[in-house]
Amino acid sequence: MEKILVFGHKNPDTDTITSAIAYAYLKNEIGVVAEPVRLGEINGETQYVLEHFNVEAPRLIEKAGDEVDKVILVDHNERQQSVNDIEDVRIMEVIDHHRISNFETSEPVYFRAEPVGCTATILKKLYKENNVAIPKGMAGLMLSAIISDSLLFKSPTCTEEDIQAARELAELAEVDVEEYGLAMLKAGADLSEKTIAQLISLDSKVFEMGDHRVEIAQVNAIDPADVLSLQQDIEGMLDLVIAEKKLSVFILAVTDILNSNSTIIVRGAQSSAVEKAYNLSLENNTALLEGVVSRKKQIVPILTETFKEL
């Protein structure tokens, strides 16, 4: 049988990596030859997760079309966030929890998007719908994805379904959610050995908004001041990326995971659109967004609407 590659978005986070692994496992169990792969480096948080549950990291790929005709996307659907040669392969399925944009097919596909906090929450349902038991390791990976995406259930993206799924997965994974979750988030928030280039690309996504290209990176921190002290160097690097990718604006959101707010650093010709979206004035290219921790729910929609009206 022809192999299918399963992968999440570029600049992979824990949900993207673990969902690729957990969905490929499910596919294998129901007789489909599927291999999880990744489109970028494993971050510190995901590394912690894989080591904890003793699961190997997926193989890194640059292109998909060289080795397969068919792929499955998890945790994303927008073309510019996917593998570079996405136009050369056939997308068989999408399992996602983001907005739907810049995606189209000429034939019917299996597309399962739900407005929950995490792709893993949907995967857990798919295991059940396909009558496949969830082994301890896969439960641990999926639980980790939910903890990561919901910042231990504190993000406004987190739904009752995510919490319920996490509870059941924690039992199968045999971990204490609070204790394990905090250790995992801390592993991800350890920025001490990151270069500036790594900081702004670790969890970064490009969006098409109206006629504009906007990049939004997010860094979770225990102490945001550590990151903000590097503001001058960060801005220099953002300006380079803006020129290279022809971006209208680049936003780096430094999220305080203990106090649930984000300080944004904004660069680019359309910075004023960010001021308009949040009805504030940037000072020294920054602003504190109280209560904002979710790019998907609290940044992308409001900015998209603002850019469409520009």
Residues annotated within a binding site: 9, 13, 15, 75, 97, 149
Among 47, 111, 260, 272, indicate the residue that binds a copy of itself (CB under 8 A).
111
Q: How many residues does the chain have?
A: 310
Q: Is there binding between residue 310 and a copy of itself (CB under 8 A)?
A: no
Q: Is there binding between residue 131 and a copy of itself (CB under 8 A)?
A: no
Strand partners, 303: none
Among 10, 27, 76, 97, indicate the residue that binds a copy of itself (CB under 8 A).
97
Q: Is there binding between residue 305 and a copy of itself (CB under 8 A)?
A: yes
Q: How far is the CB of 257 from a copy of itself (least distance, A)?
A: 21
The stretch near a copy of itself (CB under 8 A) out of 66-74, 171-179, 194-202, 297-305 is 297-305
Contacts 24+ apart (CB under 8 A), 172-180: 172/134, 172/135, 172/136, 172/139, 173/53, 173/136, 173/139, 173/140, 173/143, 174/136, 175/140, 175/143, 177/143, 177/147, 177/152, 178/152, 180/52, 180/147
Helices 136-150, 119-129: axis angle to 10 degrees equals 150
Q: How far is the CB of 271 from a copy of itself (least distance, A)?
A: 20
Q: Is there binding between residue 160 and a copy of itself (CB under 8 A)?
A: no
Q: Which is nearer to a copy of itself, 6 or 199 (CB)?
A: 6
Q: How far apart are the first and last CA of the chain?
A: 50
Unique residue bearing structure tokens 């002290």: 229
Q: Is there binding between residue 69 and a copy of itself (CB under 8 A)?
A: no
Contact positions toward a copy of itself, by CB under 8 A?
Answer: 97-115, 129, 296-297, 300-301, 304-305
